Amino acid sequence: MDDRLPVRVAVDAPQHSGLGGALDYLSERTLSPGTLVRAPLGRREVTGIVWPGDADPEPSVALKPVAAVLDAVPPLSARWCELVDFAASYYQRGLGEVALSVLPPELRKLDDDQLAQRVARLRKAWAVPPAGPVPARPELTPDQAAALARLGELSAPGQAPVVLLHGLTGSGKTEVYLRAAEDALAAGRQVLVLVPEINLTPQLEARFAERFGAGPAPKRIVSLHSGLTPAQRLKNWLAAHLGLADLVLGTRMAVFAPLPRLGLIVVDEEHDPSYKQQEGARYSARDLAVYRGKLEGACVVLGSATPSLESWQRAEQGRYERLTLAHRVGNGALPAVRLVDMNLLPKAPGVTTLLSPQLVGALARRVERGEQSLVFLNRRGYAPVLHCGACGWKSDCPHCSAWRVFHKVDRTLRCHHCGFTQAVPRACPDCGNLDIAPLGRGTERLEEQLAEALPGARVARIDADSTKTKGALEAQLSAVHAGDVDVLVGTQMVAKGHDFRRITLVAAVSPDNALFSSDFRAPERLFALLMQAAGRAGRDAAQADRSEMVVQTWHPTHPLYAALQRHDFKAFADSQLKERSMAGLPPFSHLALLRAEARTAQAAREFLQAAATLAEQIPGARELLIYPPVPHHIARVANVERMQMLVESPTRGTLQRVLRPWVDELTRLKSQHKGVMRWALDVDPLAI
């Protein structure tokens, strides 16, 4: 008689294998839910997690035994398992895929003895944290004091409030985070702080380390993001899971950090699209943070100067508590926004500069006064395309339906979608014309034109190309903070989150593209980006009265710019919500996007059309609106054709009831469409 016990284990089964839930195995002893194990899967031995619930194996199936138990790591909590279960169910992914993808990859490579050694070293190293002097705290503004008082009332035991902290740029939202974290830590709880991008993590980590890393009882702070080495990520993950770390700061993946005493979750810049995962399990870390707060009984603070329209509407409905920081620290003025109408500039033949005389004059005045300026253009490279005026040839990518961007620094044409790179040709490949020229502008070209327009000015550029090497971003930011740069050229990397004290002028040279985009979220993203960029100016109260933002536009009467000039997010949000309500767009409807990638556009279209037919047969599908398949904005990438099909529902529940059986059918449908390479379902998509 076999005395081994059946147990459910979540393993990362192959995608679309039909093995979406936990699998049944045999164990020689009782295992607590959340225990890490090694288990056989096919011919491999993989890491798994014992999952809550009773195993119910079929009598005719011979179960395989668990290969090893990783006792060195305490079991993951029931609430952590519930969070993963919800994420897998809501975003229509395999349970094991989600559960294992959010664990440190290094964890899968170690046996129990190796893990025990890592845990022992970590406990020993962190046994007695070094004490230090008590750090100074700035005096609170009336807005900050009022927000914290209300936050304290809402965070009474037994409550799990969601708070939208709507604060102007420079109004001191970070200080509110710090004080709220201080209260949670004093109560013996852990704090999770999420930021949208890796390059913002060190800056915020330094602020928290300065506040909590000293004093008579210093706190342990760790970060979790993809920029860490595998060993660092495992060490920080273990510190959080073992309860050794008091504060965890990280990007979207950190929302799954196991924290046994979680008491506060902060989502900084909650509107940022980077919180939405775009590969694999396409989850929203912001939305999962809200769900996790309810599970853990923890307060959730969503902070932003330009909240997402979804969060704003929930605050308007009373589902979130809105706290407002309406004034800058030191009562500094917001930068005056000046629009430059590009239609009124004289058209000089052969002149393609991005810089208006008004902007050049404003920059020159800052250089003379020893102040700094930020010039923002969200397009890297020298020019978007090379062009032959004789035959019309353009530097298209042979593998994508996109242009290869001209990079003057290394004289290459580079596709930013598939990475295909070639040296710049000496002549037009089609007609042999030697006079091929750049068309359009990127940050490299803008940097060059600024250096010509401002002789003697120290011009620097920060974008994805100039920060490739390790430590480059930190070095360049240090130069800006030290005053070694007069004019900083950058993409959105520098337009948000950074505290540049010497910048008094911000310029957006070419922001109009998003005004008339087919993506209904484009105006929301543009307004947020411009408001964030404007917030880099005048952060030092002594210079705030002369801070300014210059926006060069061909559409100066557009309502978006009118709201920007008044720094009136509420007016912009109200107008956008009214438009979306009339059009039946989120947050007044709920969307899912089915994407298909295939060798031909026809194969992708036929798969999506067949998928639509299957969906229509599912109970409840009559309430859905299924749009015809259309190509992506960039239809071909790396010789793969991409199509998408939008599904719209009046309620979230109706959409979810249809999606689960539909996904099961799609797994079988793909086997009938050999030309389809892969498909993916994106629930609550951000980019359409």
Residue list, annotated binding site for Zn(2+): 388, 391, 397, 400, 415, 418, 428, 431
- Tracing tokens 């046996």 back to the chain, one arrives at 111
CA 416/CA 428 separation, integer angstroms: 21
Both tokens of 406, joined, read 């001209």
What's at 51, amino acid-wise?
A: W
Q: What are phi and psi of 356, to 5 degrees?
A: -80, 155
In 3D space, the residue among 362, 392, 391, 381 whose CA is nearest the CA of residue 464 turns out to be 381
SS (H, E, C) 108-166: HHCCHHHHHHHHHHHHHHCCCCCCCCCCCCCCCCHHHHHHHHHHHHHCCCCCCCEEEEE
CB 504 within 8 A of CB 354: no
Both tokens of 89, joined, read 């169910």
List, in sequence order, the alpha helices (H) in 556-651. Answer: 559-565, 569-583, 601-616
Burial letters 639-661, b for 16+ CB under 10 A, else e: ebbbbbbbbbbeeeebbbbbbeb
Q: Which residues contact 688 (CB under 8 A, 6 or more apart)?
A: 518, 519, 520, 521, 591, 593, 644, 646
CA 15/CA 663 separation, integer angstroms: 12
What's at 59, amino acid-wise?
A: P
Q: What are phi and psi of 312, to 5 degrees?
A: -60, -45
Q: 644: part of which helix (H) or strand (E)? A: strand 640-649
Both tokens of 29, joined, read 């002893």
Instruction: Give the largest CA-CA distance in the chain.
Output: 93
CB 688 within 8 A of CB 520: yes
CB atoms within 10 A of CB 126: 13
Whether the upstream peptide bond of residue 307 has omega within 30° of 0, thus cis, is no
Annotation: binding site:
388, 391, 397, 400, 415, 418, 428, 431
- Cα Rg of the chain (Å, integer): 27
The DSSP letter of residue 608 is H
Q: What are phi and psi of 288, to 5 degrees?
A: -70, -30
CA 406/CA 436 separation, integer angstroms: 12
SS (H, E, C) 343-408: HHCCCCCCCCCCCCHHHHHHHHHHHHHCCEEEEECCCCCCECEEEECCCCCECECCCCCCECEEEC
CA distance from start to end of the chain: 58
CA 526/CA 514 separation, integer angstroms: 6
In 3D space, the residue among 583, 601, 615, 674 whose CA is nearest the CA of residue 644 turns out to be 601
